[in-house]
Amino acid sequence: MPPSRRKIHVLIVIVAALSVQACSPTRPPVDELDIASRALGAARAADAPTWAANEYHAAGEHFDQAQAAEGRQDYDMAAQLARESAADSELAAAKSRLGKVRAAVDKLKQDNANLDSELSQSGTQVQP
Protein backbone atom coordinates (compact mmCIF):
# COMPACT_ATOMS: atom_id res chain seq x y z
CA MET A 1 0.00 0.00 0.00
CA PRO A 2 1.44 3.37 -0.96
CA PRO A 3 2.22 5.78 1.89
CA SER A 4 -0.55 8.21 0.90
CA ARG A 5 -3.18 5.43 1.08
CA ARG A 6 -1.84 4.31 4.45
CA LYS A 7 -2.21 7.88 5.77
CA ILE A 8 -5.79 8.00 4.52
CA HIS A 9 -6.60 4.68 6.23
CA VAL A 10 -5.03 5.84 9.48
CA LEU A 11 -6.94 9.10 9.27
CA ILE A 12 -10.21 7.23 8.69
CA VAL A 13 -9.56 4.99 11.70
CA ILE A 14 -8.79 8.00 13.88
CA VAL A 15 -11.92 9.86 12.73
CA ALA A 16 -14.05 6.75 13.32
CA ALA A 17 -12.62 6.27 16.80
CA LEU A 18 -13.23 9.90 17.69
CA SER A 19 -16.81 9.76 16.40
CA VAL A 20 -17.57 6.67 18.46
CA GLN A 21 -16.06 8.32 21.50
CA ALA A 22 -18.01 11.54 20.85
CA CYS A 23 -21.30 9.64 20.69
CA SER A 24 -20.97 8.05 24.09
CA PRO A 25 -21.80 10.12 27.15
CA THR A 26 -18.80 11.52 28.90
CA ARG A 27 -20.44 12.01 32.25
CA PRO A 28 -22.68 10.00 34.57
CA PRO A 29 -26.44 10.49 34.07
CA VAL A 30 -26.84 12.37 37.35
CA ASP A 31 -30.05 14.12 36.30
CA GLU A 32 -31.72 10.89 35.18
CA LEU A 33 -30.73 9.12 38.39
CA ASP A 34 -31.99 12.03 40.48
CA ILE A 35 -35.33 12.04 38.66
CA ALA A 36 -35.62 8.26 39.08
CA SER A 37 -34.78 8.49 42.78
CA ARG A 38 -37.39 11.19 43.38
CA ALA A 39 -40.00 9.25 41.39
CA LEU A 40 -39.27 6.14 43.44
CA GLY A 41 -39.70 8.16 46.64
CA ALA A 42 -42.99 9.60 45.39
CA ALA A 43 -44.24 6.10 44.56
CA ARG A 44 -43.26 4.93 48.04
CA ALA A 45 -45.08 7.91 49.57
CA ALA A 46 -48.16 7.02 47.51
CA ASP A 47 -48.16 3.54 49.14
CA ALA A 48 -47.15 1.86 45.90
CA PRO A 49 -45.54 -1.06 47.75
CA THR A 50 -49.05 -1.92 48.96
CA TRP A 51 -51.22 -0.93 46.00
CA ALA A 52 -48.86 -1.55 43.04
CA ALA A 53 -46.23 -3.93 44.35
CA ASN A 54 -45.13 -5.34 40.97
CA GLU A 55 -44.58 -1.94 39.39
CA TYR A 56 -42.87 -0.60 42.50
CA HIS A 57 -40.58 -3.64 42.61
CA ALA A 58 -39.70 -3.17 38.91
CA ALA A 59 -38.91 0.49 39.55
CA GLY A 60 -36.57 -0.44 42.39
CA GLU A 61 -34.86 -3.13 40.32
CA HIS A 62 -34.32 -0.76 37.40
CA PHE A 63 -32.96 1.90 39.75
CA ASP A 64 -30.51 -0.57 41.32
CA GLN A 65 -29.42 -1.71 37.85
CA ALA A 66 -28.98 1.92 36.78
CA GLN A 67 -26.71 2.58 39.74
CA ALA A 68 -24.71 -0.56 38.97
CA ALA A 69 -24.34 0.48 35.32
CA GLU A 70 -23.16 3.90 36.44
CA GLY A 71 -20.58 2.19 38.65
CA ARG A 72 -19.33 0.30 35.59
CA GLN A 73 -19.24 3.63 33.72
CA ASP A 74 -21.82 2.32 31.25
CA TYR A 75 -23.54 5.68 31.19
CA ASP A 76 -25.86 4.96 28.25
CA MET A 77 -27.27 1.90 30.02
CA ALA A 78 -27.44 3.76 33.34
CA ALA A 79 -29.45 6.58 31.75
CA GLN A 80 -31.81 4.14 30.03
CA LEU A 81 -32.39 2.13 33.21
CA ALA A 82 -32.92 5.32 35.22
CA ARG A 83 -35.59 6.43 32.73
CA GLU A 84 -37.24 3.01 32.97
CA SER A 85 -37.18 3.25 36.76
CA ALA A 86 -38.81 6.68 36.66
CA ALA A 87 -41.52 5.41 34.29
CA ASP A 88 -42.16 2.35 36.47
CA SER A 89 -42.35 4.58 39.55
CA GLU A 90 -44.85 6.92 37.90
CA LEU A 91 -46.97 3.94 36.87
CA ALA A 92 -46.78 2.50 40.39
CA ALA A 93 -47.83 5.82 41.93
CA ALA A 94 -50.74 6.17 39.48
CA LYS A 95 -51.91 2.60 40.14
CA SER A 96 -51.62 3.23 43.85
CA ARG A 97 -53.79 6.35 43.61
CA LEU A 98 -56.29 4.41 41.51
CA GLY A 99 -56.38 1.57 44.03
CA LYS A 100 -57.02 3.99 46.88
CA VAL A 101 -59.82 5.71 44.96
CA ARG A 102 -61.43 2.37 44.09
CA ALA A 103 -61.24 1.31 47.74
CA ALA A 104 -62.87 4.58 48.79
CA VAL A 105 -65.64 4.11 46.19
CA ASP A 106 -66.19 0.55 47.38
CA LYS A 107 -66.44 1.79 50.99
CA LEU A 108 -68.96 4.44 50.00
CA LYS A 109 -71.02 1.85 48.11
CA GLN A 110 -70.99 -0.39 51.17
CA ASP A 111 -71.96 2.54 53.41
CA ASN A 112 -74.83 3.38 51.05
CA ALA A 113 -75.97 -0.24 51.02
CA ASN A 114 -75.90 -0.29 54.83
CA LEU A 115 -77.93 2.93 54.98
CA ASP A 116 -80.45 1.56 52.48
CA SER A 117 -80.75 -1.59 54.56
CA GLU A 118 -81.26 0.38 57.77
CA LEU A 119 -83.85 2.61 56.13
CA SER A 120 -85.77 -0.31 54.68
CA GLN A 121 -85.80 -2.01 58.08
CA SER A 122 -87.22 1.12 59.68
CA GLY A 123 -89.89 1.34 56.99
CA THR A 124 -88.72 4.66 55.57
CA GLN A 125 -88.81 4.96 51.79
CA VAL A 126 -86.00 6.85 50.06
CA GLN A 127 -86.81 8.71 46.87
CA PRO A 128 -83.96 8.66 44.33
Whether the predicted pLDDT of 66 surpasses 60 = yes
State pTM to two decimals: 0.70
Q: Return all residues near 79 (Cβ < 8 A) that are at least 6 apart.
A: 25, 29, 32, 66
Q: How far apart are CA 106 and CA 103, in angstroms?
A: 5
Task: Tell me the domain boundaries of the chain.
Answer: 28-107
Mean model confidence pLDDT for the chain: 87
- pLDDT tens digits, one per residue of 86-126: 999 999 999 999 999 999 999 999 999 999 888 888 876 65
Residue 1's pLDDT is what?
Answer: 55
